[in-house]
Amino acid sequence: MGRLYEFKEEDAYSFAHHVRIQTKTRGDELQFLHCPYCKGGKGGKDKGTFSINLRTGVFKCLRSSCSISGNMITLARDFDFSLGVLADEYYQPRRKYRRLKTPDKPIEPLPKAIEYLQGREVSERVAREYEVTVHAKREDVLVFPFYDEKGKLQYVKYRDSGFFKGKIYVGRDGKEQASPKEWSEADCKPILFGMKQCGSERKCLVFTEGQMDSLSVAEAGIKCAVSVPNGMNDFRWIPYCWNWVCEFEEIVVFGDFERGRMSLLDEIRKRFPNKIRYVQEEDYKGCKDANDILRKHGREAVRRAVENAAEQPVKQVVELADVKRRDLRDVPKFKTGFQRLDSYLGGYFFGGQLIILTGKRGQGKSTVANEFCVSALRQEKKIFAYSGELPDWQYKSWIDFQIAGPQNIVENIYQNGDVKRFITNSNQDLIENWYRGKFYLYDNNAVDDDELVDLVTTIEHSVMQYGIDLVIVDNLMTALDVDMAADEYRCQSKFVKKLSRLAKRLDVVVILVAHPRKNSFTKDENDAVSGSADITNAADIVMTFKRDEDTPDYNHLSVSKNRWFGNLTKNEGIDLWYDRKSRRITDQGKGGFYYEVGWQKESGIQGTEGFVNLEDGEETPFT
């Protein structure tokens, strides 16, 4: 493709945004929810058949009835997608445009043109300046000549002034047709209307959608007003006008305003590097466009609208003075369940925090995360949990034991010494009723292997729909599988940043369980977390759980990053004790295993701790 265009991975993502189709990465492929050409066939039932290779830019649809293939140049041609001005001008196929004869002298507007424009509050002076006239054979058809900045005629557009009267004409096929509102000379080079009239001034360029609107801005005494040749959805003019437009210090967008949105604004902002300002909604005064404002409110209203145009704010930038003050007492929060940990974290987990919990495989990270869940439930908080390693029934069983506590777990001890622990059916019902409506689990069974799934989106919808306070993602690598990860480190970074933004935007606590690096010899626990360095960089809190090799029921929890309060644990960290019977963890010594949880308190049940000796093979009435 030469020097004019070299494929960049970002172009594939930009194209997906351009056509507004959901995508996911899989290996080296950017996979689309449906093909932009065939739309997934009848009813859009075929999903994930279209993809762009992120190394080469080559695309293909796997549907046999479609089988479209090509590269980014093909997509740019077929979907009016820009790959940069040089590439657009060189690669976009275009006809040999007609060379229109430029008049030797300015066109004199005919009386009918002046009469019509004056009816739209546009003066004869402006009509003469822009050389607007009527068709020699049809006085009800306005003629708008488009001159480039050098004064050469490039394009001609027509407007039927009797359009709204429902006029009928006979088409080339001999059939009667409704008169079109606007049309243009065929095979003409599309440029902006009003380029010649801007002269040599290059300070402020006002963009409007229709020719009557640019004439209205000129009527208000504002120089350098242009309009696009064929409305808000046709941007074929950009390659031919891009350099000229870029000469201006700033652009004011004065598009049509309907349904709370302004036409042209998004596309102009995306396509041009100039400083962009736009007319404020209140200055439209309930009108649709510049000509409507001119007719109803006069020249001064149009001028003020342009002068009051505001600069498009830079995304993700706010004035410090505009940042709302917030007291930590007003931030959603809950106790962690470990008193000593609370003392390091300002007393609570706070909404907006992303917390990384790491530790060696199989040593109890998930159990610690469950303990945070139990504490949140005791404080009437709602939870969403994703467990990528455990089937749903096993996850439920493990956390139910922690909720029940050792005093409510029955042990069956067989003659061979094996122990079977369980919760009685009556207590199990009480526990389920207690957290019903407060605890939600990601359903792995509802996801097909080839289904495009965005875990972060599922979490976001759950937070909004169910009022979630705490999100548990256990663990990072399996979560990435759900997110169709390809480039491991890049996807890790992207996923964790998404979680961080979600936590802050929705005021929830997000706890992400992550494995440590294999064979890590670093003393910095933040660096020891497996994966991209962006993982711990995005976190507000990083905690590491360690099991004592000599005393498995004795553990430690250390805080190596604490962005909000700065308090870090020293040496081994916080001492924790583990109860094998209930899987509970506490920092209050072995007596701390016997705390009460809401389900027991509401039912009035006292502890039912005990065990039963059974013969091998003997059944229990509780199972």
What secondary structure, in 3-state letters, does 206-234 show? EEECCHHHHHHHHHCCCCCEEECCCCCCC
- Comparing 437-441, 449-453, 510-514, the range with the smallest average pLDDT is 449-453
CA–CA dist 575, 430 (Å, integer): 32
| Amino acid letter for position 561 | K
Q: Are 614 and 412 in contact (CB under 8 A)?
A: yes
pLDDT band at 87 (very low <50, low <70, confident <90, very high): low
Report residue 230 CA to chain centroid gap. Answer: 30
pLDDT for residue 529? 65
Mean pLDDT across the stretch 256-268? Answer: 89
CA–CA dist 459, 498 (Å, integer): 11
pLDDT band at 344 (very low <50, low <70, confident <90, very high): very high
Contacts within 8 Å (CB) and 24+ apart, 264-267: 264/207, 264/209, 264/228, 264/232, 265/312, 267/232, 267/235
Q: Are 614 and 620 in contact (CB under 8 A)?
A: yes
CB atoms within 10 A of CB 305: 26
pLDDT band at 621 (very low <50, low <70, confident <90, very high): very low
Q: Tokens 């990465």: give the residue.
A: 25
- The answer on pLDDT for 169 being more than 60 is no
Q: Which residue has the higher pLDDT, 590 or 603?
A: 590
Q: Tokens 């469950």: give the residue.
A: 370
Cα-based distances in Å from 111 to 127, 133, 164, 393, 439: 10, 8, 21, 84, 76
Q: Are 579 and 406 in contact (CB under 8 A)?
A: yes
| Amino acid letter for position 186 | A
Q: Are 142 and 189 in contact (CB under 8 A)?
A: no
pLDDT for residue 60? 92
- The answer on pLDDT for 119 being more than 90 is yes
- The answer on pLDDT for 177 being more than 60 is no
Q: Which residue has the higher pLDDT, 75 or 316?
A: 75
pLDDT for residue 517? 60
- The answer on pLDDT for 610 being more than 50 is no
List of domains in the chain:
9-91 (3.90.580), 111-311 (3.40.1360.10), 333-614 (3.40.50.300)
pLDDT band at 375 (very low <50, low <70, confident <90, very high): very high
Please name every residue paired with 612 in a beta bridge, in sequence order, or none if there are none: 412
Single pTM value for the model: 0.53
pLDDT for residue 425? 92
> What are 510's two structure tokens?
């997000």
pLDDT for residue 79? 85
Angle, vertex CA 53, rays to CA 48 and CA 59, nearest 5:
65
Mean pLDDT across the stretch 217-226? Answer: 95
- The answer on pLDDT for 274 being more than 50 is yes
- Comparing 87-91, 185-189, 241-245, the range with the smallest average pLDDT is 87-91
**109: phi then psi, degrees, rounded to nearest 5:** -60, 135
Angle subtended by helix axes 211-219 and 299-307, to nearest 10: 100
CB atoms within 10 A of CB 146: 27
Mean pLDDT across the stretch 118-127? Answer: 96
